[in-house]
Structure 1
Amino acid sequence: MKKTRTLVLLSVVLAIIVITLGAYTRLTHAGLGCPDWPGCYGHLDVPKTAQEIERAEQAFPERPVETQKAWNEMIHRYFAGTLGLFIATIFIIGLRMRNQGMPLYLPLALLATVTFQAALGMWTVTLKLMPVIVMAHLLGGFITLCLLYLLYLRLTPYTIESGNKNLRQYSIYGVIGIVILASQIALGGWTSSNYAALACTELPICQSGWQQQLTFENSFDLVPPKRDTYEFGFLNHAERVTIHAMHRIGAIVTSVYLIWLALFILSRTSSRFFQRNALAVLAILAIQVSLGVSNIVFNLPLPVAVAHNVVAALLMLSLITLTYSLRRRVKE
């Protein structure tokens, strides 16, 4: 079981790397760096020689080869494919060890999720960055990471010393926090996939007059009008302002709730374990808010924008740790 737990932990780390690479690929506008799937211009890697590039551009005349963007996309695919193999291995182990206390449903859910995630990766390319597919692909990465981390927690034996035996009843507040944070991550994915990250350039919500620009008629339509490509977006400025403003408001709601949750837990327990977990949520939230503000102040610098995605994942993992631990049996 220890070796399996190590494999799951490695998969958690790999999933974080995949999320990082996915954000980098999206933010460098490399989502269509390879116009086909799963290869790149018919290759298992990127066309390199002049002859290969010429043949590639003849096969895909609408998409000239941009080597750097193509490598960004393919490196992301390599890591995602490796993660898929890790998860398939975990499922096989779960199947073989189901009578020895190894969870089976979590590995099964992981296998189903990563399989659908592969389909979303294909549709991201074939449907030319349709926003709902791009957002779903981002959420699929987060779901994969969360399921892997939950499996790791399930495989980790630990007993929690608590100064209050009734903490279990407060786990519902953690679940609510997870739902709120997941909704905010989805809003972030919708903002990014519709190229609305720079629609608002002032704090705290948007520039002057943003309330008059709000329009919900087309801003959140999951099925957009058919287009040859959705790269660089198709919504007008007011619709992008609406999406961005909702993401900002969502950030405020999420921050207020998570601050309340952490302070609530701190006030209800003398357990150092739960105090550390609650403080971790506060610390990661502070970093995430700082990154969000920096994105606006410094005009979406690439390292900060990528870190904003990664820290969102870490914030979710810290919240899962807190909520899952509240559900565990405490030492009498």
Structure 2
Amino acid sequence: MNKGYKLLILAACTLALLVVSLGAYTRLSNAGLGCPDWPGCYGFLTVPNESHELSVVEKNFPNAQVEPKKAWIEMIHRYFASLLGLMIVVLCVVAFRQRRNMSSNDAAVPLKHSLLLMVMVLFQGMLGMWTVTMNLQPFVVMGHLLGGFTILALLVLMYLRVHQPSNIAAAANSSHFLLSIGALIVLVIQIALGGWVAANYAAPHCSGLPVCSNIELFSIESLFHLPVGQSNYEFGVLPFETRLSIHFIHRLWAMVTALTIVWVGWKIYRAQSCSKIKSAVILVFCVLFAQLFLGGLIVHLQFPLLLTLFHNVMAALLLLSMVRLCFLLAAKQGATI
């Protein structure tokens, strides 16, 4: 396969991780509405700062106040997200051209994978627009976060597919692959719960370790108090006890996720003889324990922005390490994912 094509996929993977990190920073710094319109900022391609530009803003957005720092955070995120979308379009075009070039004999070019990425990017763009136009509606914000993680995972999976491991022999038993997929699903649920915590600004409402300081306020019924019917969702609209309950469920499922991954990983590690798969399990364990340590440290230090950002990035890395493990197990049994 063309070396330039592989490098382009690798560059897209790196950029996608950066975009996910910038998205997390935008949420955590409360800059999601730094620009109240989309795709520009107050009708401009950059943040307005000249007197004539501010006059236009005052005319078209009479109730808005330009906050340059927040606006630039939001726009930088959009610039990089747009560049990522362009790279995925290029990947799709290259895949079409290589498939049509019969002399290249490139049967491994992931055309359907590229098309799926194109669909995801278009939908993610719509979610980005709705995030702003619907004033940070939590369902949309959580969907936008999950969309970013999905695009990142698909790009990394594409990179793995074009670098098919050559030293993994076929295996008759598929149970390890199925176990790894189950653990991956449990992890995705945990990431979604984390997105729900972030979308509802619920992180600071559950302080204290190992349980919330005001755990007596926890209630299953309050979890069904959904954030709907508001004109603006910035900083959250749900009652204190609902946000505490949301955060505590996230902590509980984190324990379920950790135990599931440790059990599945240990089972795979003990049974496998392939050093590449054993190394993949060790990588998953290292990222998992780092993530658990970060989670506890964040609560102990009262949710500092940078540590919380690293917690989001580490969640993405844990997802990618699990995707890689699933891929290697699929390759070992001769399947593809």
Whether TM-score is above 0.5 comes out as yes
DSSP 3-state at the match of 2:204: coil
Q: 1:260 to 1:220 in 2, by over 3 A?
A: farther
Q: Distance in 2 between matches of 1:56 and 1:216?
A: 44
DSSP 3-state at the match of 1:160: coil
Task: With the length of structure 1 as denominator, give the TM-score of the two structures.
Answer: 0.94
**Residue 141 of structure 1 is aligned with which of 145, 148, 167?**
148
How big is the shift at 1:285?
A: 0.4
Q: Distance in 1 between matches of 2:173 and 2:278?
A: 12
**Residue 193 of structure 2 is aligned with which of 187, 190, 195?**
187
User: Retained in 2: the 8 A contact 1:194–1:240?
Assistant: yes
**Residue 308 of structure 1 is aligned with which of 311, 315, 335?**
311
**Residue 171 of structure 1 is aligned with which of 160, 169, 177?**
177
Could you say which residue in structure 2 is the equivalent of 1:86? 87
Residue 287 of structure 2 is aligned to residue 284 of structure 1: yes
Task: With the length of structure 2 as denominator, give the TM-score of the two structures.
Answer: 0.93
Q: 1:220 to 1:152 in 2, by over 3 A?
A: farther
Could you say which residue in structure 2 is the equivalent of 1:159? 166
Residue 204 of structure 2 is aligned to residue 201 of structure 1: no
Q: Name the amino acid aligned to 2:43.
A: G
Q: Name the amino acid aligned to 1:78.
A: Y
User: Retained in 1: the 8 A contact 2:200–2:237?
Assistant: yes
Could you say which residue in structure 1 is the equivalent of 2:133? 126
User: Retained in 2: the 8 A contact 1:38–1:122?
Assistant: yes
Q: 1:220 to 1:271 in 2, by over 3 A?
A: farther
Could you say which residue in structure 1 is the equivalent of 2:41? 40
Q: Distance in 2 between matches of 1:285 and 1:32?
A: 32
Q: Distance in 1 between matches of 2:171 and 2:65?
A: 63
Q: In percent, how many aligned pairs have the same letter?
A: 41
Q: Please, which runs of 5 or more residues in structure 2 have no aligned partner? A: 101-105
More displaced stretch, 35-44 vs 321-330: 321-330
Could you say which residue in structure 1 is the equivalent of 2:117? 110
DSSP 3-state at the match of 2:221: coil
Q: Distance in 2 between matches of 1:235 and 1:139?
A: 21
After superposition, the CA RMSD in angstroms is 1.7
Query: What do residues 64-100 of structure 1 show as CA deviations (whole Å, max 9, x unaligned)?
Result: 0000000000000000000000001111112222352
Q: Distance in 2 between matches of 1:20 and 1:78?
A: 14
Q: Distance in 1 between matches of 2:304 and 2:69?
A: 18
More displaced stretch, 118-127 vs 260-269: 260-269
Residue 330 of structure 2 is aligned to residue 324 of structure 1: no
Query: What do residues 247-284 of structure 1 show as CA deviations (whole Å, max 9, x unaligned)?
Result: 00111000111111221111112322111111100000
Q: Distance in 2 between matches of 1:290 and 1:117?
A: 31
**Residue 262 of structure 1 is aligned with which of 247, 253, 265?**
265
Size of the alignment, in residue pairs?
327
How big is the shift at 1:5?
A: 1.3
Q: Name the amino acid aligned to 2:278.
A: Q
Could you say which residue in structure 1 is the equivalent of 2:247? 244
User: Retained in 2: the 8 A contact 1:37–1:125?
Assistant: yes
Could you say which residue in structure 1 is the equivalent of 2:14? 13
Q: 1:220 to 1:262 in 2, by over 3 A?
A: farther
Q: Name the amino acid aligned to 1:257.
A: T
Q: Name the amino acid aligned to 1:202.
A: G
User: Retained in 2: the 8 A contact 1:188–1:247?
Assistant: yes
Residue 304 of structure 2 is aligned to residue 298 of structure 1: no
Q: 1:246 to 1:13 in 2, by over 3 A?
A: same
Q: Name the amino acid aligned to 1:213.
A: F
User: Retained in 2: the 8 A contact 1:159–1:329?
Assistant: no
Q: Please, which runs of 5 or more residues in structure 1 have no aligned partner? A: none
More displaced stretch, 95-104 vs 281-290: 95-104
User: Retained in 1: the 8 A contact 2:19–2:81?
Assistant: yes
Q: Distance in 2 between matches of 1:219 and 1:244?
A: 14
How big is the shift at 1:57?
A: 3.0
**Residue 218 of structure 2 is aligned with which of 213, 218, 221?**
213
Q: Distance in 2 between matches of 1:330 and 1:129?
A: 44
Q: Distance in 2 between matches of 1:212 and 1:43?
A: 46
Q: Distance in 2 between matches of 1:213 and 1:296?
A: 18
More displaced stretch, 70-79 vs 194-203: 194-203
How big is the shift at 1:214?
A: 1.1
Q: Distance in 1 between matches of 2:58 and 2:298?
A: 36
Q: Distance in 1 between matches of 2:327 and 2:225?
A: 33
User: Retained in 1: the 8 A contact 2:135–2:233?
Assistant: yes
How big is the shift at 1:167?
A: 5.7
Could you say which residue in structure 2 is the equivalent of 1:271? 274
